[in-house]
Amino acid sequence: MGDTMISLRHVAKRFPGTRTPAVRDLSLDVDRGETVVLVGPSGCGKTTTMKMINRLIEPTSGTIEVDGTDVMAQDPVRLRRGMGYVIQSIGLMPHRTVAQNIATVPRLEGWDDARIDRRVRELAATLRLDEELLDRYPAELSGGQRQRVGVARALAVDPPVMLMDEPFAAVDPIVRAVLQDQFLDIQRRLRKTIVFVTHDIDEAIKMADRIAILNLGGVLEQHAPPEEILREPANAFVEEFVGAERGLKRLALIKVSEIDVDEGPVVSPEDDAEKARALIRDGGFGWVSVLEDGELLGWVDEAMLEGKARVSDATPRRFSAYVTAEDSLRQALDSIVTSRTNVAVVVTEGQRYRGILTLERVSREIVS
Ligand SMILES: Nc1ncnc2c1ncn2[C@@H]1O[C@H](COP(=O)(O)OP(=O)(O)O)[C@@H](O)[C@H]1O
Ligand SMILES: [Mg+2]
C-alpha cells in the first residue's frame, strides 16, 4: 500500500452553461490494487469524476495521473482501452453475440482469433457464464448475466485499472448480492486498481478497501476504510449518509479473531462435581463448559450434576450454536441473543474450544 496508482490533484469540472461546478476542487489517491468506492447523493459528481479518469470528460482544471502519467498527455483512445469500464446500462452491442461483445477490445488490439477465443472462454469461466451463452445475443440473457458479460468485456485485455459506475444497480437485490460476492472473489485474485461508484452506502461498505464520501460539488467529506467511517464519521454529513445501525454495520466488519475472547467457566470430565458446582455458582452463567483435551463436549448445569460425584458422571448438553474466528462480531451477536446460554461459544475447526463472547464483551466494540 501507499503505492499510488491514480491521483487526482485539485480537479475541477465546470460544464458549459452551468452555474455551479459539478466538481469544485477534488484531490484523491487510489493505491495500486485497492478498491476505492465513491459514494454520495445523486448529482454530487461521482460519474463526472470517474469519466475524467478515462477522459470521457476533460477536467476544467487540476491534474489526474494514472500510473505516474498525466492522462492529458496520453492518447485518449489508448488510455480508455487500458482501463476496464463497466456501467449500469452495460452498453453491450445488441447485434453482436456475447462472445463478440467480450472480444471487443482484444479485436481492436489486433489479437488473433485463437487467442481471442481462448481469452473469451477463460473469462466466461471466471465470471461463471455458461459457455452455451457465448453464442447468444444480449437480449437473450438475464440482467445478471448481461452484467457479468459487461464485467468480462471490461476485463478482456487484463487492464490494471477498472472503472465501475453503479455496475450492479440495475439488477434485483438477490442477483446484486451474488454479483457483489463474485466480484469480490475475482478481485481477491486479480488485485486490480478499482474505482467503483455507487449511491448505496451498504454496497460501498461491502466492496471498498476505502470509501470516498462525496458531497455536492464533488466535495470529499471523508476518505477512509469502511470500518473507520462507521466508527468515526468525520462530520454530520457522513454520519447522516451512513445512516442508522452504524454500530451493527461495523460489527459485521470485525472478525471474532480480531478481539480477545473471554476464557469462560470450564471443567474437565475428571474434575469433581463439587468444583463444577462452585464454578457454576460463581461464574455468573449458571452453567460450565466441559472440555476434554481442549475439545468442547458441551455444558452442564447444577441440575445435570445432581447426585453426581464427578463431571464425567453427567452427560453434557451441546451448545446450540458456535462461532469461529472467521465469523463476524455481528454473527456472534446473533448467536448470543438466540442462544439459551446467552453467550457465543468460540471454537476452531474440530470443536477446539477458544472461549466465549458475551453481550457485554461484544457491546464494548460498538462505539456510538
Ligand atoms: N454533460 C453535462 N452537462 C451539464 N451538466 C452536467 C453534465 N453531466 C453532469 N452534469 C451535472 O453535474 C453534476 C454532477 O453529475 P454526475 O457526475 O452525473 O453526478 P452523480 O454521478 O454523482 O449522480 C450534476 O449537477 C449534473 O446535472
Ligand atoms: Mg452517476
Q: What is the CATH number of the domain that holds 294?
A: 3.10.580.10
Measured by CA distance, the residue closest to atom 17 of ligand 1 is 45
Closest residue CA from atom 24 of ligand 1: 43
Residue 162 has pLDDT above 90, yes or no: yes
Nearest CA to ligand 1 atom 6: 15
pLDDT grade, residue 2 (50/70/90)? low
What CATH number does the domain containing 42 carry?
3.40.50.300
Tell which residue, 56, 72, 252, has the closest CA to residue 64.
Answer: 72
| Shortest-distance ligand to the CA of residue 218 | 1
pLDDT of res. 170? 81
Give 313-365 pLDDT, tens digit per residue.
999 999 888 899 999 999 999 999 988 888 999 998 777 999 999 998 998 88
DSSP, res 259: S
Q: What angle do CA 250, 144, 201 make, to 5 degrees?
A: 25
Pocket test of ligand 1: the residue of 23, 47, 58, 163 to mutate, having most ligand atoms within 8 Å of its CB, is 47
* Closest by Cα among 266, 272, 360 to 310: 272
In 3D space, the residue among 272, 280, 110, 83 whose CA is nearest the CA of residue 195 turns out to be 83
HSE value, Cβ hemisphere, 13 Å, CA-based, for 57: 19
The Cβ of residue 21 has, within 10 Å, a number of other Cβ atoms equal to 17
Q: What is the count of structural domains for the chain?
A: 2
Task: Mark whether 265 and 249 lie in a shared domain.
Answer: no
Can you give the residue range of the structural domain that contains 208?
4-254
* 313/226 same-domain check: no
Question: Per the structure block, which three cell numbers stand in for 96?
Answer: 453482436
Specify whether 131 is located in the same domain as 235. yes
**If you measure from the C-alpha of residue 37 to the centroid of ligand 2, how many angstroms do you get, rounded to a whole number?**
13
> What's the mean per-residue pLDDT of the chain?
92
Place of cell 464454578: 279
Q: Which of 233, 254, 275 is the last residue of a domain?
A: 254
pTM of the full predicted structure? 0.84
Residue 89 has pLDDT above 90, yes or no: no
Among 254, 278, 311, where does a domain finish? 254
Same domain, 138 and 242: yes
- The C-alpha cell 482469433 sits at 113
- Which of 18, 20, 241 to mutate for ligand 1's pocket (most ligand atoms within 8 Å of CB)? 18
Output the pLDDT for position 367.
60
Nearest protein CA to atom 14 of ligand 1, as residue: 45
Residues 55 and 140 grouped into a single domain: yes
Residue 193's pLDDT is what? 97
* Dist. CA 237–CA 39, nearest whole Å: 12
Residues 186 and 104 in one domain: yes
Let me know whether 245 and 263 are in one domain: no
Q: Is 136 left (phi over 0), alpha (psi -120 to 50) or beta?
A: beta
Do 266 and 138 lie in one domain? The reply is: no
- Specify which of 146-150, 187-191, 234-238, 359-363 reaches the highest per-range mean pLDDT: 234-238
Asked if 105 and 134 sit in the same domain, the reply is yes
Same structural domain, 202 and 313: no
368 belongs to a structural domain: no
Cα separation of 17 and 264, whole Å? 68
Distance in angstroms between the alpha carbons of the first and the last residue of the chain: 29
Ligand 1: lining residues by beta carbon, under 6 Å: 15, 18, 22, 42-48
- Stretch 61-66: mean pLDDT, rounded? 97
